Structure 1
Amino acid sequence: MYAWLWRRLPGGPVTRLLCCAVLLTAVAALLWHVIFPWAETLLPFDDSVVGPTRES
């Protein structure tokens, strides 16, 4: 997959490296600001119990 992406990017090695850095930053920002907040509502991380519980 990385070889496919490297071959498709324009320019020489330095330009390709910069394009890869920009793409990586864009994907990370998309995950951080859109996907992770959406997925957080679906995950049970807030269902913790602190303190004593009632036993039946």
Structure 2
Amino acid sequence: ARDSKGMPRCKESAKAGGNIAKNTRKELEKKIGKSILSKENYLDLQSRKQKKLEKK
């Protein structure tokens, strides 16, 4: 865990975290023999944002 301060450091930390997540996903897919990404588990973030705005 890092205590990143400032935009450049936060950007580095975000990229490192994204790479960890990517590698973990690829390892899992290799282990189970299929992709874990599909149209069924896709989250439509635009519609979720709109729903939140409507509730206010």
Q: TM-score, normalised by structure 1?
A: 0.47
Greater C-alpha radius of gyration: 1
Q: TM-score, normalised by structure 2?
A: 0.47
